[in-house]
Structure 1
């Protein structure tokens, strides 16, 4: 069989590019080394009948009407605004930090204007913002940094915030109002019947052939394809020529409790200072599912295992750019996605990148 495109990886990047190209009349072979589609966003019903995210919570949010409308072709939506609490000083407090967080933590009665003054008094100004530690200290000062950020970051990344680029903690806003939503995007929704069903509908096209439990290295010399779209780790593609790019991985501990309908007040509770895990997510909050029991997942960051998060440090970015230079020299190969572009993308950003890649390929008439 001769294909126009071989797409490596059936997560967001792979499925979106496969759908767009197949819908344009291209013959596509989509492969994934796992036994399922959807990548890390894969979800399924556990043995108790609760829809869970196998690889930790994936909450969809975007400000892009284009991306929302595109995905809406493949799913109905459940409206969901994610809220997170952090266990600090034996209290469950809103994170991102807001007016209620400060008032409850310090037993104060501030309003929005006086909270701005509070932040100004406690912050440790930094002339140059280079690290994640700089970001937080410059914004909210030492005590809030120690209580909410430092321990969580050290668990998540295996290093101190002072060793990580500013982008890590810059993702988390600090608020002066009472808005306790984790995200403020225009569109905050979850696929009504789950991500896996959405992906299945997306790639249910006669021009797409799907092969699961298939490794790229094992078939690349046998498949006849005019162009490759690669969504896996870029250093793996080049056989680690310059050394391995650092990633953080996760271990997931799933648990079910039949005795209660709900075990925590919000979808996710962070544990910045206690335990080896970073957070617990209770899935029924996310999906809106009704069930007599409940299922949760604890996340344990680790250095070994499947790559989840590119580690944002300047030396890692330098190493990535060496691989990017090799990628730009590759003929008829396109790299897209979190692992292929070594970027801490949100899901909507991956969709946007994939749509952009296909648009350029079709405009160029590469196949």
Structure 2
């Protein structure tokens, strides 16, 4: 598994070195191997493939997500068509409840939420819209995440659902966060209680890890886990012609301009002696008095039948693996400096959430990886044409 890198006749043993075996790295590696016939080495510092989407059966035999719940949803036919080569799907529409005032109510906020929380009897979308408009507190210029919510639904709903949760999740007040954070969460006037409304919502029927094994199963791909890029970063050009880097962009450049800020997560996985723990896959806890942000139960997601159940408590953290880029203007400015370095770095392609310092859903990462491969493919075709033209002119 960890034999020395070697190749006959001084030829480099690989055409590409891909750092990271999550969605971005795995998709790029598969495309390069299957479409270009390239020899690809994929490495990952963790001892498994799949990145944060990695799942495995625990000691009780319950399939759980080691890094918290990953729910697949997309509006992209291209992404579904691509991944469907490597997995069958189990239809699943995720529903989330929020624990507010001793009630479990739908989140995103919808008409049912309003009726249950405030003892109302709103019967139509129009009535719900009018009610929300009556509570809204118009903000002249929306500058941050607090402004977004207060402008839409008013301060009471903001404090009940968003302020405490966001403070816990990000470690700072919503008034200090970019408006994009809370703008991701809609407010509905209908009774649709699905968390996502994408046209395709499903889970890989055999789990994410099984899907990744198939993506990386091409005979021209070699995978080495438990290998850190830093161990041979100074000699990677002896191993491969081109590097695809999906790790933190600031780490690649030795934090030259300082560290890019991230939020991390801590997970408390528990297996309980009962068949079901909660009514939906995830329950959010916005109250600042509760240290965790949510509890997820995996059997809702996977459809697995088992007399016991596994749940995960999620605790945001300032320390640990990088999960969420913190969306503040000064952080984007810092990233731009690294991006300029990346753009001027030859023989290296940066792709994925950490390499581009953006919060992407899984389907967006797959889409980005496929688009990146297309650009690599076009460049290869252009280079090939140029080489042929030069040979013809000789």
Tell me which interval the TM-score lies in, with the shorter structure as reference length: over 0.9
Does residue 1:264 correspond to 2:278, yes or no? yes
Q: Determine the structure 2 residue equivalent to 1:327.
A: 342
1:211 counterpart = 2:224? yes
2:200 aligned with 1:187, yes or no?
Answer: yes
Q: For 1:53-202, list aligned pairs within 5 A.
A: 53-111=65-123, 112-202=125-215
Q: Which residue does the alignment assign to 1:41?
A: 53
Aligned to 1:252: 267
Equivalent residue pairs, number: 366
Q: CA deviation at 1:158?
A: 0.2
CA displacement at 1:119 relative to structure 2: 1.0
**In the alignment, which residue of structure 2 is the partner of 1:309?**
324
Distance (Å, rounded) in 1 between the aligned partners of 2:377 and 2:240: 16
TM-score relative to the length of structure 2: 0.92
Match of 1:5 in 2: 16
* CA distance in 2 between partners of 1:14 and 1:277 (Å): 31
Pairing partner for 2:26 from 5, 15, 21: 15
CA distance in 2, matches of 1:294, 1:211: 32
Query: 1:364 aligned to 2:375?
Result: no
Q: Distance in 2 between the 1:191 and 1:128 partners?
A: 43
Aligned-CA RMSD value = 0.9
| CA displacement at 1:67 relative to structure 2 | 0.2
Deviations 1:216-269 (A, max 9, x none): 1112233321111100000000000110000000000000112x1101000000
Q: TM-score, normalised by structure 1?
A: 0.98
Give, in angstroms, the shift of residue 4 of structure 1: 1.2
> CA deviation digits over 1:272-310, x for unaligned, max 9?
004100000000000000000100000000001100000
From the two aligned structures, give the one with the greater helix fraction. Answer: 2
Q: Does residue 338 of structure 1 match 2:353? A: yes
SS of match in other structure, 1:221: helix
SS at 2:370's partner residue?
helix
Q: Distance in 2 between matches of 1:127 and 1:5?
A: 51
Report which of the two structures shows the higher radius of gyration computed on alpha carbons. 2
